Amino acid sequence: MTGDFKPKSEFLRVLIERGFIHQCSDFAGVDEKALAGGLTAYIGFDCTASSLHVGSMLPIMMLRWLQKTGGKPIALMGGGTTRVGDPSGKDEARKLLTVEQIETNKDGIRQVFDKFLTFGDGASDAIMIDNAEWLTKLNYIDFLRDVGRHFSVNRMMSMDSVKMRLERDQELSFIEFNYMCLQAYDFVEINKRFGCTLQMGGSDQWGNIVTGIDLGRRMGAPQLYALTAPLLTTSSGAKMGKTASGAVWLNADMLSPYGYWQFWRNCEDGDVSRFLKLFTELPLDEINRLGGLDGAELNEAKKVLANEATALLHGRAAAEAAAETARKTFEEGVLADDLPSVALPAAEAIGMGVLSAFVRAGLVASTGEARRQIKGGGLRLNDEPVMDEKSALTAANFKDGVAKLSLGKKKHVLLRAE
């Protein structure tokens, strides 16, 4: 997509080299801005959950690179748009989030940004803003007069996202239709307030961003630019960010650093060097060396990936601890102390049926599932396969008050009797 464009700015050079770019409305234009210094760019984030997940890492890294190369990143929280509720889920009309929930979510998300960006009042300090600030103050009539008249329904109908829905006879509510207008307006408003001229986002945002550029032109804003990142899939085509145990959250209270480390460690072979470029800051020649490893040696590259990615999010110490836990658990088969653990009173723990023990550990959802897993040989107690579903935990199972319960080869939980 970048063609043979030769960027002069460090910002674009890094993004292109590392594979962050899917499409850009005007490479030369963005390059010039970045070179002149003081390039300000923003990316919009949903605040429907109290944490972002790995899917958001790509845009976050783009903002980080922007800051590192001298630009000013803006993280836009969709507090205003979230308030309308996204009706794209087709069955039950999704519950609207309350203002307080949105605020709580913003706080959770803010914690992640603090780790990747430097916030403050300086020229290249990052800022976080919420579109509720201007969207909620909009007056419908004024909005129609000043902004709405610039939108052509004909054009909106021809946009891929809309066309697809119509072709498939899928619901497309008026609200959703209006999202485009609000998002486009955001761009213009942010330009007015912060002199921001570039919006970045996932490739699915292309249409919205370009609509914003168009609106800016009609409303007399300076030239605006769009830059999108590729949609991330694993090399076998699956969507990224979902794994075994659900979404890969960025906040530590929703997914431990160890779990996060494991996510990267378990990536597919074909993804390693791509991920190293996108999610770590290792120099490219180092990445090329790692990516060139063959077969089993590639596991070393995966460890580097896991270490670096985890260090960026949770800090170097947490990353090393996770690596150490993994090493003990997988390479030595020794019991590592900081595997995820569940504590319960000794009186209750000893004599507890294996089935409920695994349920308590959170490894299986029900005793029924535990039974099935036992039949399939998937449950282990202190590394010994559980054969009898009627057996119970004994004092002997707790070495130093700790019993290790495992589901499959990768998921381990320590049961602590206290």
Partner RNA sequence: GGGGGAAUGUCCCGAGCGGCAAAGGGGGCGGACUGUAAAUCCGCUGGCUAAGCCUUCGUAGGUUCGAGUCCUACUUCCCCCA
Q: Which is nearer to RNA, 116 or 261 (CB)?
A: 261
Residues found in the chain: 418
Q: C-beta of 373: minimal distance to RNA in Å?
A: 6
Contact between 119 and RNA by CB under 7 A: the answer reads no
Residue of 127, 335, 369, 401 that binds RNA (CB under 7 A)? 369
Q: CA 163, CA 70: separation in Å to the nearest integer?
A: 39
Question: Helices (DSSP H) in 117-173: which residue ranges?
Answer: 132-135, 140-146, 153-157, 160-167
Which residues between 348 and 367 bind RNA (CB under 7 A)?
355-356, 359, 365-367
Contact between 371 and RNA by CB under 7 A: the answer reads yes
Q: Write the CA distances from 194 to 74, 88, 106, 263, 409, integer angstroms.
A: 9, 31, 21, 37, 51
Q: CA 338, CA 252: separation in Å to the nearest integer?
A: 14
Q: Write the CA distances from 81 to 52, 89, 133, 203, integer angstroms.
A: 17, 15, 11, 20
Q: How big is the site for RNA, counted in residues (CB under 7 A)?
A: 43
Q: C-beta of 56: minimal distance to RNA in Å?
A: 20
Read off the tokens for 284.
């490219």
44 within 8 A of 251, measured Cβ to Cβ: no
> What residues have CB less than 8 Å from 381, skipping those under 6 apart?
354, 357, 393, 397, 403, 404, 405, 406
Contact between 95 and RNA by CB under 7 A: the answer reads no
Contact between 265 and RNA by CB under 7 A: the answer reads yes
State the helix-helix crossing angle for 10-18 and 272-279, rounded to 10 degrees.
Answer: 160
Q: C-beta of 174: minimal distance to RNA in Å?
A: 12
Contact between 302 and RNA by CB under 7 A: the answer reads yes
Residue of 368, 394, 399, 418 that binds RNA (CB under 7 A)? 368
Residue of 131, 373, 403, 414 that binds RNA (CB under 7 A)? 373
- Could you tell me which of 248, 244, 251, 223 has the C-alpha nearest to residue 113? 251
Q: C-beta of 324: minimal distance to RNA in Å?
A: 10
Site string (213-252) toward RNA, x via CB under 7 A? -----------------------x-x----xx--------
Q: Which is nearer to RNA, 253 or 268 (CB)?
A: 268
Q: Which residues sit at the interface with RNA, rule CB under 7 A?
A: 91, 169, 171, 236, 238, 243-244, 262, 265-269, 295-296, 298-299, 302, 326-327, 329-331, 355-356, 359, 365-369, 371-373, 375-378, 407-411
